[in-house]
Structure 1
Amino acid sequence: MKWSTIQLQKYRGKSMDINETIDLTEALKNRDPQIRDVSPIHVIGNANITSEKVTFHLHITGKLILPCSRTLVDVDYPIDVHSTEIFHYQSSTSYDEEDDVEIHHTQGDVVDLDPVIIELILLEIPIQVFSEQAKDDQHLPSGTEWEVVTEDQVKQDEENKEKKIDPRLAGLAKFFDEQS
């Protein structure tokens, strides 16, 4: 998704609609080896063009195939991103503190959305993805002197430890009861 600044200036003062499907499979796989496959990415939105900048309002949808964190089976992970991206033609700043927006720069006379879309998709990938089977499975992996536990199990174990009184300190607890 590239446009020259001359092409964009034809829409100055008007809105340019965007409705494209792009293939970013290789670019995303090269950036993140965890990604096993990528569906075609659908980009819908519009661009507002002025003499100094282009503002893109984008809605990006698609699907990634990622490995399950427990079982390594393929998991479909949907992508649904809304973003506003600003490209300045000749600005020297890269961040607008007033609007709290990152500003992109054109490369020569070309506005290229592909790197921005790739970055937005990569930011959406979670650290862990679980398949439905792994979510439903109550039997987590274990081995000699180790086991995988959930956060809920850890919290429950901590609560049980707090309720139990160390037998070495039981006599001390009786001492304080006698003083009262």
Structure 2
Amino acid sequence: MADHAVTSEPSHGPGSTPRREPFVLDVRSMGRRPGTMSEVHRTVRTPERLGVEMVGIPADSDVDLDLRLEAVSEGILVTGTVCGETVGQCSRCLEPIDGTVTVFLTELFAYPDSATVQTTDADDIHRIADDRIDLEQSIIDAVALELPMSPLCSEDCQGLCQVCGVRLAIAEPGHSHEVIDPRWAGLASKFADLDADDSASTSEGDAADTADPDRKRHRD
């Protein structure tokens, strides 16, 4: 019959993993007896931010570990979930967003002298060192893969106006700007100057007619 142990620890409680190594688990008590199992239910603080550029679990945030450790012939098989609260920005409108991410782990940590270690490149296998397993890199990778590279506050987010930067969700209906092709900008400026000159001439003529009614009758 397999040995079975359950470990449940509060954040930073007595005997908990030091703050600087929150994802390191001591497996000394499991020995090397295949079938031996242990459960870990623990809330820890992550010392570094976990995630991608636009969204992630902030540094110094609670992360819940619900894991099962099982001794197998080649090492310790770790399965379970890691869960944390996320914050970030919508990739379209840049508004703050928050949520929860849960990742599922299935990782084998090999014994130092196992056949797996001897026949596998060092970069392709997790190892048990000093009777401890370090889940940090596995969790970093899993969270980064789970989170979207371009998170949205909502699927129908309209984003920002490309001209003035206002958030379109709160802009006036029909919000738009007259955009002139740069190739025609100089010509448009000249037409604007001509219109201004015509308006000035018309205004001067009207003023003269008002001052001299005979002038207006003669022109008519």
Which residue number corresponds to residue 69 of structure 2?
47
Which residue number corresponds to residue 150 of structure 1?
none
Root-mean-square deviation over aligned CA pairs: 3.1
Q: Secondary structure at the match of 1:23?
A: strand
How many residues align structurally?
Answer: 135
Which whole-Å CA distance do the structure 2 matches of 1:36 and 1:48 have between them?
A: 30
Which residue number corresponds to residue 69 of structure 1?
91
Q: Secondary structure at the match of 2:125?
A: strand
Q: 2:135 aligns with which of 109, 113, 116?
A: 113
Q: 1:126 aligns with which of 125, 130, 148?
A: 148
Could you give the per-residue CA deviations for residues 129-173 of structure 1, whole angstroms, max 9, x where no partner exists?
1113xx4455752329xxxxxxxxxxxxxxxxxxxxxxxxxxxxx
Higher strand share: 1
Instruction: With a CA cutoff of 8 Å and minimum separation of 6, indicate the structure with the bigger relative contact order.
Output: 1
State whether residues 85 and 103 of structure 1, in contact with CA within 8 Å, keep that contact through their aligned partners in structure 2. Answer: no
Could you give the per-residue CA deviations for residues 45-98 of structure 1, whole angstroms, max 9, x where no partner exists?
211013530001111222210111122222113212122110001213159xxx
Q: 2:163 aligns with which of 132, 143, 146?
A: 143
Q: 1:27 aligns with which of 48, 52, 55?
A: 48
Which whole-Å CA distance do the structure 2 matches of 1:10 and 1:141 have between them?
A: 62
Q: Secondary structure at the match of 1:143?
A: coil
| 1:114 Cα deviation from its structure 2 partner | 2.4
| 1:37 Cα deviation from its structure 2 partner | 5.1
Could you give the per-residue CA deviations for residues 78-127 of structure 1, whole angstroms, max 9, x where no partner exists?
212122110001213159xxxxxx63122344211123212211222211
Compare CA radii of gyration and give the structure with the larger one.
2
Residue 56 of structure 1 pairs with residue 62 of structure 2 = no
Residue ranges of structure 2 left out of the alignment (5+ in a row): 1-22, 165-220
Q: Secondary structure at the match of 2:49?
A: helix
Which residue number corresponds to residue 172 of structure 1?
none
Which residue number corresponds to residue 101 of structure 2?
79
State whether residues 93 and 157 of structure 2, in contact with CA within 8 Å, keep that contact through their aligned partners in structure 1. Answer: no
